[in-house]
Amino acid sequence: GGSASASSIKQVKLERESELRIEVGNESPLKLRLLNGSAEIFGSELAPETWLTFPPRVKFAVFTWYGATIEMDGATETDYTADETPMVSYVNVHAVLEGRRNRAKASSPNDSEASQGPRVIVVGPTDSGKSTLSRMLLSWAAKQGWKPTFVDLDIGQGSITVPGCIAATPIELPIDPVEGIPLEMPLVYFYGHTTPSNNVDLYKTLVNELAQMLETQFSRNAESRAAGMVINTMGWIEGTGYELLLQAIDTFKANVVLVLGQEKLFSMLKAVAKSKPNVDVVKLQKSGGVVSRNAKFRQKARGYRIREYFYGLTNDLSPHSNIANFSDLLVYRIGGGPQAPRSALPIGADPVANPLRVTPVNIDRDLLHMVLSVSYAKEPDQILTSNVAGFIYITDIDIQRKKITYLAPSAGELPSKYLIMGTLTWLET
């Protein structure tokens, strides 16, 4: 059963096909190692006897297929053993995907259909374990030598970069249980908000851009095409959220839809797939270990994520504080902004703001504490459709001297002077 704050060294013996579920305490990290047997954390195998240090608040499970003994050192919020898990059904999905990858690899690269590996999309309500299942499928594939592409469409709690983005990255090794997805050169598009309802048209546009970019990369790379992709989605599955799911399935040409923990969504998608003979819709059980996170927790997690971008998970990065003149930086926003008065418009035109209009932003105190993205655009008219190089954080605005102070991952000039502003803010603590 559950236990509160045990802070000494503790050993746990796990029977086959069971898992140890852990929530690290709020204050201090937890050390953990595999003493004997074999075990994995979300698809990534533990090396024997090697201590891993998990930062506060992390929630995870150590699963064993054949039995293991685990040793823990530090305080946990909860830790308990569960022998009922959906892991067998998850690994069965992996086996089917493996078969499809092998078939794709064996076919002629000139046959663009047959040489395409599985494109898996994971859908379900919030806290159904979508990110976790995506991670397992990717790690199991990487362990077998594939380099699948991870696509993260979740702007609320993304696992590739800061919140407010959609992104993709190849996964070449099983995902590190502590560090997560490596941040080497992901393909990132900045949406700038943490809910899609802020600008649905922009979200759809960026999903399209990302999909097209990946399509181009796949067309040149038979290996990554055969490995396929795993697409993680948002937990917004009603109304417009559902429409966005359908858009994602079509845009990425997903051919395996994994539905976690919701009968209704499953039957709706199943009905839609009737007209798409090559799309398989599969229902999967949600794990009892998935931890629900409320709005406040999510908000906090977003802050930690931004902090991690600049400072690293363990303060191992040293970001640089830079000062620039207002005139050095060109800040833009997408959508919103002042509308033209009706009198200035042609007769019959609607004064609704164009959600995809890119407008320059005057630098003022409103920019304070904003997280801006640095666009790869070379011209303002490329901003909407360009991916981004990274992010800066505005720490001071001096109106009198027209100076702006910002935190960037490194010193020196930014890769571009075009910055995009959304509503993403952070209060450094």
Residue ranges binding ligand ATP (CB under 6 A)? 19, 21, 59-61, 124, 126-132, 154, 156-157, 235, 287, 289-291
Query: How far is it, in rounded angstroms, from Cα 179 to Cα 166?
Result: 19
Minimum CB–partner distance for residue 404 and ligand ATP (Å): 33
Q: Which residues contact 108 (CB under 8 A, 6 or more apart)?
A: 114, 115
Residue 10, beta-bridge partner list: 72
Closest approach of Cβ 261 to ligand ATP, in Å? 8
The three-class DSSP label of residue 405 is: strand
Shortest Cβ distance from residue 412 to ligand ATP (Å)? 35
Q: Rounded to 10 degrees, what is the CA torsion of 200, 206, 212, 218?
A: -120
Smallest gap from Cβ 309 to ligand ATP, in A, equals 18
Least gap, CB of 57 to ligand ATP (angstroms):
9
Residue with tokens 């630098």: 363
- Number of Cβ within a 10 Å radius of residue 343: 6
For the chain, the farthest-separated pair of C-alpha atoms sits apart, in whole angstroms, at 77
CB-wise, 139 or 386, nearer to ligand ATP? 139
Q: Which is nearer to ligand ATP, 119 or 302 (CB)?
A: 302
- Return d(Cα 319, Cα 229) in angstroms, integer: 32
Give the number of C-alpha atoms closer than 13 A to the C-alpha of residue 46, restricted to the C-beta side. 28
The residue among 76 and 132 lying less far from ligand ATP, judged by its C-beta, is 132
Tokens representing 364 are 């003022």
Residue 426 CB, shortest distance to ligand ATP, in Å, is 19
CB-nearest residue to ligand ATP: 289
For ligand ATP, the closer of residues 156 and 422 by Cβ is: 156
Query: Toward ligand ATP, which CB reaches closer, 208 or 285?
Result: 285
Burial zone of 108 (CB within 10 Å; 0-12 exposed, 13-18 middle, 19+ buried): exposed
CA-to-CA distance for 94 and 318, rounded, in angstroms? 39
Both tokens assigned to 114:
């047959």
Query: Nearest Cα to 249, choosing from 241, 237, 259, 257?
Result: 257
- C-alpha 326/C-alpha 257 separation (Å) is 47
**Nearest to ligand ATP of 308, 418 (CB atom):** 308
To the nearest whole angstrom, how small is the minimum distance from the Cβ of residue 180 to ligand ATP? 10
Q: How far apart are CA 105 and CA 246, in angstroms?
A: 28
Bridge-based pairing of strands 59-64 and 40-41 is antiparallel
Strand partners, 426: none
The Cα–Cα gap between 150 and 169 comes to: 5
End-to-end CA distance of the chain: 35
State in angstroms the smallest separation of the CB of 339 from ligand ATP. 34
Pick between residue 235 and residue 337 the one whose CB is nearest to ligand ATP.
Answer: 235
**Closer CB to ligand ATP, residue 154 or residue 209?**
154
Residue among 131 and 161 whose Cβ is closer to ligand ATP: 131
Shortest Å, Cβ 201 to ligand ATP: 22
In whole angstroms, the minimum distance from the beta carbon of 128 to ligand ATP comes to: 4
Residue 48: other Cβ atoms inside 10 A: 13
Nearer to ligand ATP, 94 or 225 (CB): 94
